Structure formats: C-alpha cells, structure tokens
Homo-oligomer: A and B are copies of this chain.
Amino acid sequence: MSDNPEMKPHGTSKEIVESVTDATSKAIDKLQEELHKDASESVTPVTKESTAATKESRKYNFFIRTVWTFVMISGFFITLASGHAWCIVLILGCQIATFKECIAVTSASGREKNLPLTKTLNWYLLFTTIYYLDGKSLFKFFQATFYEYPVLNFIVTNHKFICYCLYLMGFVLFVCSLRKGFLKFQFGSLCVTHMVLLLVVFQAHLIIKNVLNGLFWFLLPCGLVIVNDIFAYLCGITFGKTKLIEISPKKTLEGFLGAWFFTALASIILTRILSPYTYLTCPVEDLHTNFFSNLTCELNPVFLPQVYRLPPIFFDKVQINSITVKPIYFHALNLATFASLFAPFGGFFASGLKRTFKVKDFGHSIPGHGGITDRVDCQFIMGSFANLYYETFISEHRITVDTVLSTILMNLNDKQIIELIDILIRFLSKKGIISAKNFEKLADIFNVTKKSLTNHS
C-alpha cells in the first residue's frame, strides 16, 4: 500500500480494487458466456457421416424420451390406484429430489467441498421443515395411537414448540459453522436453502393437503399443467410468432394463449371423466384406502348438479330459462385459467435459474427428460394455488351453525351465552334485521334473565 501518510491510503486504493474486481468479473463473465456459446454452436464441419450420426442420436433420444414418458405415466397411475398414502410418498420423494437438485445446481462452486456442515445443515433443515409441515397434516390419521402413549401425545400437542426448537438448533449449528473466507458462500447457501424450502417444500405440503382433500384435487391440477405444456409446445411450433418473455426466448404469445384454450377444453373433459369416481372426489379418512376399498362420503355440493336461472335475454334467444350443471365445471375452468396464465411462470423461474448457473437441466435422473425438477417445476405453483382455491371456495370446513353451537356449548357458561346473544341481537338490529320495537322487547327479556341468573349464582 502507499507509504506516504498524507495520502489517505484507504479511499483511492479501495476504488482501484473495486474497479479491478468489477472489470475482471465482467471479463470472466464474458469469457464464460463466449465459451458457453461456443460449446453449444461449435461449428463442426458438416459431413454426411456427422448428419447421419446426429439423426441417429436424435432418433435414439426421442425413443428414450418416449419410453420414459410411458414409464412415468404408468408409474403415476399405479401410485394413484395404490392409495392416498402412496401418493403422499410420491410427493415426498419428488420434493426431496427437487430440493437436492436445486441445492446441487446453485452451490456447485468448488468451495462447498470443504464445508461438510453446509450439506448436513441443508438436509437437517429439509427434514425439520417436512416434519413440521406434513407432520401436522398426518397426525390426525394416527390419533388413536397418539392418545394411548403419553410421550407421543406430548409430541403431538407440542408439535409447534418442538419444531421451533429443532429449527433453532439448525440456526445455532449454522452460526457455529461460520468460517472466515467462506462467509459469503455460507450465508448465500443459507438463503438459497430457505428459498428452496419455501418454493418446493412448503408448496409440496399444500399438494399433500390436496391429496387429503380428495385425489381429484391432486389429479386435475397435475393433468391441466401437463396438457398446457403439450399444447403450448404444439401451438407454439404451429402459430408461434411473438416472443413472450425474455428469460425463455423460445416461448411465444400465440403458444401461451393457444394452450389456454385447449387447457380450458381439457378441464371440462377431465372433470367429466374424473368426477363420477367417489374414490377421487371423497376426502380421505383412513390412509389405508386404495382404489378397491370403495371409498364413499357425503359429496361436496360442487359435485352435485345445481339449477342456475339464466338471465331473461337468454330466454328470448334460446327459449331456456335455466340450466342444470355441476358447479365443479366452473371451478375446473378457473383452475385451467391459472394453469395456463400463471403456472408457466414456475417454469420460466426454473429456466431463469438454469440460465444463471449455465446448466441445461437440473439433473439427469429421468433419461431423456433431465431432472425431476425439470418435469415438476410448474406443478408446485399449480398445486399450491389449487389448495388455496379449494380452502377458499370449495372446502366445506366452512363454519356452520352446528360447529359454532358445539364450540359454544362446550366452552361458554350460561352467563356468557346470554352475553353472546345480547351482542348478536345488537348487531342484527343495527343492520335493520330486527325492528327497533322488537329489539326493545328482547332487551327487556334478557335484562330480566340476566338479573335472575345473577341472583341464582
């Protein structure tokens, strides 16, 4: 550094180092981009043998890809038929594989090799998060067992606190593992791990809840995304002209919108095929259920035909004043719209990530297809939306008069019940549902009742 004390040693050389750093890393990036471009378009002289060889390898690749497509489809249907428990195992497997692939791609830089704790910590945080999220959903299926053993009962009742302490251990382990020289990598990898936990593990948890709500809510979203993928490709190669988004230059607006139309159509067909099976439409009560266990239930109203009165102008045109249709078809169209307009952004996000780390695929576990992540990147966002949609517009756990009544009778005493009625009557009269005259009569009666109750106690 400079020996002359007058010269402020830090200012100027700091700027030099920073500009050197910037210039060098820009040069390195340019070099890597050059190299990457070079590798993919390396101009090898075109000879007859090489075109035949490329055709041969393309045919082989297509064959492998088709074989494995059928392997995956049949595997999926076998899992579906084997029951809800096996579907949950499938989802757990997919999320763990996706987690592994994402972490491998994002932390491929060499330094990780001599930081064993980072890998252990990643797996520790993964299984703690899975235990916290999915443990909660599955405990209710083993209630009987848990109540028999006090230790298990303690674990279930204090689930949240136990998981908080487990996470805290991971946090302490991380802080203790911090090493000078690797700090940026360690903090970076902690952030990536948490991002993957949110986008993969949390959304997979919502997909597991879809399975528990009924396999219909797992199968339909999956099917819509696959249909949308296929028709986006077909419409894209047929009509595609306008580039859709910078991060995925091959995607076109025409493919995107064309796929929306076909996905909407497919949602009607898929619903028509799937909704008659109570094995698919009934929520699961026992994890041993499978296709042959004749699962039945009081169907959710959306699966029952309802009569809808048509606006008068329809009557003049087509002489029909009402239609009878199952509401599930409207909901399927909404899911199809999401699958077409928003779920693809999961795929764009994944391809942006692959572009960032300059990899073609996340992994190589499915021959001809790449990694599991490449196959399921749109499914996570679709599955989480399907769950939120179900909980908001379909689910029947809607609080009914009966559920409120049992809560009141089990928890409130007589004085509190009268207080509650008093407040409710005030609300109803404020809304004009109870007339002022009636409100006065009611108020008198309840005052008398309150006084007699206080004298009694």
Q: Which residues of A contact B (CB under 8 A)?
A: 1, 5, 9-10, 13-14, 17, 20-22, 24-25, 28-29, 31-32, 34-35, 38-39, 42, 44-45, 110, 144, 147-148, 158, 160-161, 164, 168, 171-172, 174-176, 178-181, 183-184, 187-188, 190-192, 194-195, 198, 245-247, 342, 345, 348-349, 352-353, 355-356, 381, 384-385, 388-389, 391-392, 398-401, 404-405, 407-412, 414, 416-421, 423-425, 427-428, 430-431, 433-434, 438, 441-442, 445, 448-449, 452-453
- Grouping DSSP codes into helix (H, G, I), strand (E, B) and loop, the A interface class, with mixed when no group exceeds half, is helix
Q: In the complex, what distance in Å separates the CA atom of A14 from the CA atom of B409?
A: 62
Residue ID in chain B nearest A165 by CB atoms: B388
Knowing A391-B160, A407-B404, A412-B401, the reply to whether A356 touches B187 (Cβ < 8 A) is yes
Closest 4 CB pairs of A and B: A399-B411, A191-B191, A183-B356, A161-B392
Knowing A191-B195, A408-B424, A420-B405, the reply to whether A21 touches B28 (Cβ < 8 A) is yes
Verify A1–B161 contact, CB threshold 8 A: no
Q: Assuming A164-B388, A401-B416, A421-B425, what are 13 further A-B pairs, CB within 8 angstroms?
A: A5-B44, A17-B32, A24-B24, A24-B28, A147-B427, A172-B342, A178-B352, A179-B246, A184-B356, A191-B191, A194-B198, A404-B420, A417-B427
Shortest Cβ gap from A350 to chain B (Å): 10
Verify B409–A433 contact, CB threshold 8 A: no
Q: Which residues of B contact A191 (CB under 8 A)?
A: 188, 191-192, 194-195
Verify B29–A181 contact, CB threshold 8 A: yes
Residue ID in chain B nearest A14 by CB atoms: B35
Q: Which residues of B contact A1 (CB under 8 A)?
A: 34-35, 38
Verify B175–A247 contact, CB threshold 8 A: yes
Q: Which residues of B contact A45 (CB under 8 A)?
A: 5
Verify A353–B431 contact, CB threshold 8 A: no
Q: In the complex, what distance in Å separates the CA atom of A34 from the CA atom of B10?
A: 11
Verify B38–A353 contact, CB threshold 8 A: no
Verify B401–A407 contact, CB threshold 8 A: no
